[in-house]
Amino acid sequence: MTPQDAAHLLRASTFGFTAEQLRFAVDEGREKTLERLAARPAAYAAFEDEVALLTNREASEIDKQHLMRYRAMHSPWQRHDKETWFGSVAEERRVKTPVEFALNLSIAFGVQMAPAELHGKLVVLGQRFHDPGRPRRWLNGFTRVARAKLAAEIVGKVQRFPDRRDLMALLAQRELPMRGEGRELALAIASSEEFQWI
Amino acid sequence: MDLTRRAFLGAAAAMALRADRSGTILVVVQLAGGNDGLNTVVPYEDDHYGRARTTLRLSDRQVLKLEAGLGLHPAMQGFARLYGEGKLGILQGVGYPKMNRNHDAGMACWQTGRVVAPKKGEDVTGWLGRVADAGPDGSTPVAFVGSIGAPLTVEARDAVVPIIRKATDWIAAPPRVEASYPELPLAQSLKTVAQLMRAEIGVRVFLTEQGGGSPGEFDNHSNQSGIHAISLRELSESVAAFCQDLKRDGLFDRVLLMTYSEFGRQLTENGRHGTGHGAAAPVFLAGGRIKSGLIGAHPGLGDLEDDAPRPHTDFRALYATVLEAWLGIGSEAILGGRYLRLPIFA
C-alpha cells in the first residue's frame, strides 16, 4: 500500500491521523489496516467509561464541545465514532465537513485549539462541533476564505513539521506541484482545492 | 475527477459574479426589541395619540413634518433628508393578523416569514435562508453582516450563509471607503455592506441589525424618551450615511434597504414613561428606485387591537414584492403562499 492509499483509507475512516500513524498503516498493509480500523479495540470499553464519567446530562454547551473534541481526538476506535457521530453528514457529499477539515489538520500536527474558539469558527463555516447537523453545501466563496484562515491559525500553532515527503502524504491525496516545506507547504495544501475533498 | 470539480465550481462562481454586476441588491435591517412606530412616524395631530402619550408625546413643533399630520421623530434628521430627496418610503401599518407580542416568537415570525412562531426545537429556516438555498451550489446570494450571532432570518437548510463581522473576514484588501460613516454599530455594519458590494462578491441580499439579540434595544418599557431617541438617531444617521456613500458611484439605484422590527408598541404610555408590546408598525424603505413618501394609510388609532394599531398590510406581501419585483425571485416557494404586490417602487 502506498502512502497515498493509506492516507486515503485513514482519511475516510478517522477524524485525522499523524505521520506516525500513516507510516504504521503503510507498513501494516491494506488488509490488516482495514481489519484494525473495523475491529473494536480492547481499550475502547475503558474509553467509553471515561467519556461516560465526563458526561453530565446538564452539561453546558461549552462542556459538550469539550467532550466532542476530546472524543474525536482521542477515541481508540475512530471509525466507529465517526460513523455514529456524523457519518451520514460526512459521507453524503464528497466535501470535508468543517469538523473534518479542522480535525484533519489539528490531529495531523498535534495542535490543540480551545473548544470554544474552534466552535465559533466552525459555526461560521456552517457546522456545530457537538451537533454535526445535516449535509450542506459546505463550499462557497466565503467558506473557502474562512477555511484558509482557520488553516492558517492551526498551522500557525505547529512547533515542528514533518519532512516534505511525509507532509505531502499526510495532507494531499496525490502529488501536488507545490514548492516549499514546513509551514509554507502545509498552509498551501490546506488552503488548496485538493484538501477540501474527503 | 478533479478537473470536473474545478470546472463545476468555476461555473458556479462565474454565475454569481455575473448576477452581482448587473443585479439589484437588497439590504435588510433588523431592529430588535419592537420599535415604537407611533413615536417614530408620529401622528402628532391625532387626539388619541395626544391623550395616550402623556409624557412621551411629540408635538407638532418637535417632529420633522412629513404630510397628512405625520412627522418623523426629531432624532431622525437623516431620514428626513432622504424623505426630502425622494429616496425614503414609509410603508405604514405593517404586520399580520393577531400579531405575536412575545419578543422571540414575534421576531421568529418576521424571520421565518410565517405568522405562527416555530415550536421549540422545530427545524425551521429563515426567509432569506431559503433565498440562499435557492441559489446554485457554490454561490453566496445572502450574507449576514453584524456582531451578534446570525439571526434565524438567514438560517438555511442546505447553503452556508456567510457571517461577516468586518470586510476582511472575506476580502483580503477591501475597497477603500471614501465616505464618512458615524462611529455607530449599525453605521459600521452598513459600511462593511458597502465594501462587500463594491468588491463584487456575488451577494444579492445583506442582512444586518440594530439592537442586538432578544429582547433588543428598542424594547422600551420605561424611560423610553431618551433611549428611543438614541436608537432612532443611530438608525437614521447610519442609513443616511450608507445612502450618501452609495450615491457616489451609482450603486444607490441598485439598492433597496428595508427595516423591520418584531412589533410596534401600544398606544397608551405606561406608568414608567415607557410603552408595552404592540402590533402594527411602519417599515422604512430607502433606495434609488423606491416610491418615496407615505405608502398606505396610517393605521387608525380609534380602533385598536389590545391598545395597539391594527395591521392592514401583511409583511409577507412586502417580502413577496421585494423577492419578485426587486430580486426577480419567485416568492411562492420561499413564502409558502401567494401575496399581492405592494406599490413600493417608483
Q: Does B125 touch chain A (CB under 8 A)?
A: no
Cα–Cα distances in angstroms (integers) from residue B214 to residues A91, B38, B105, B148, B149, in the given order? 37, 21, 10, 11, 11
Structural domain contains residue B346: no
Q: Does B163 touch chain A (CB under 8 A)?
A: yes
Is ipTM strictly over 0.95? no
Q: How many angstroms separate the CA of residue A136 from the nearest CA in chain B?
A: 4
* Enclosing domain of residue B225: 2-335
pLDDT of residue B11: 38
Q: Percent of chain A, pLDDT > 70?
A: 96
Relative orientation angle of helices B224-247 and B77-84, to the nearest 10 degrees: 40
Of B157, B158, B201, Cβ closest to residue A141: B201
Phi, psi at B314, each rounded to 5°: -75, 130
Q: How many angstroms separate the CA of residue A175 from the nearest CA in chain B?
A: 13
Kindly report the CATH number assigned to the domain that includes residue B237: 3.40.720.10
Q: How many angstroms separate the CA of residue A193 from the nearest CA in chain B?
A: 8
- pLDDT tops 50 at residue A36: yes
* Residue of chain A minimizing CA distance to B142: A142
Identify the sign of the CA torsion B200, B206, B211, B216: negative
Q: Does B132 touch chain A (CB under 8 A)?
A: no
Q: Does B166 touch chain A (CB under 8 A)?
A: no
Phi, psi at B170, each rounded to 5°: -120, -40
Nearest residue to B90 via CA among B154, B13, B35: B35
Q: How many domains does chain B have?
A: 1
Structural domain contains residue B229: yes
Of A137, A145, A193, Cβ closest to residue B137: A137
Q: How many angstroms separate the CA of residue B263 from the nearest CA in chain A?
A: 29
Task: Kindly determine whether residue B160 and residue A140, on different chains, have CB atoms separated by under 8 Å.
Answer: yes
Read off the pLDDT band of A12 (50, 70, 90). confident
Nearest residue to A195 via CA among A81, A120, A94: A94
Structural domain contains residue B345: no
**Pairing status of strand B281-287 against strand B41-42:** unpaired
Which of A122, A140, A176, A197 to probe the B interface (max B CBs under 10 A)? A140
Contacts of B138 in chain A (CB under 8 A): 137, 139-141
* Enclosing domain of residue A15: 3-196
- Rounded to two decimals, what is the model's pTM? 0.91
Contacts of B11 in chain A (CB under 8 A): none
Task: Kindly determine whether residue A142 and residue B157, on different chains, have CB atoms separated by under 8 Å.
Answer: no
Q: How many domains does chain A have?
A: 1
Structural domain contains residue B179: yes
What b-and-e string marks burial along A17-27, b requiring 16 or more CB atoms within 10 Å of the CB?
Answer: bbbebbeebbe
B41: which strand partners?
B72
Structural domain contains residue B252: yes
pLDDT (tens digit per residue) in A47-94: 999 888 887 766 777 788 888 888 888 899 999 988 887 777 766 668
Contacts of B139 in chain A (CB under 8 A): 140
Structural domain contains residue B172: yes
pLDDT tens digits, chain B, 346 residues: what are they?
333 444 434 433 433 333 445 589 999 999 999 999 999 999 999 999 999 999 999 999 999 999 999 999 999 999 999 999 999 999 999 999 999 999 999 999 999 999 999 998 899 999 999 999 999 999 999 999 999 999 999 999 999 999 999 999 999 999 999 899 999 999 999 999 999 999 999 999 999 999 998 889 999 999 999 999 999 999 999 999 999 999 998 899 999 999 999 999 999 999 999 999 999 999 999 999 999 999 999 998 999 999 999 999 999 999 999 999 999 999 999 999 999 999 999 9
Taking phi over 0 as left and psi of -120 to 50 as alpha, with beta for the rest, B33 belongs to: left
**Cα B346 to Cα B343: distance, rounded to the nearest angstrom:** 8
pLDDT of residue A65: 80
Nearest residue to B142 via CA among B28, B225, B278: B28
Which of A142, A143, A153, A191 to probe the B interface (max B CBs under 10 A)? A142
Contacts of A125 in chain B (CB under 8 A): 160
- pLDDT tops 90 at residue A198: no
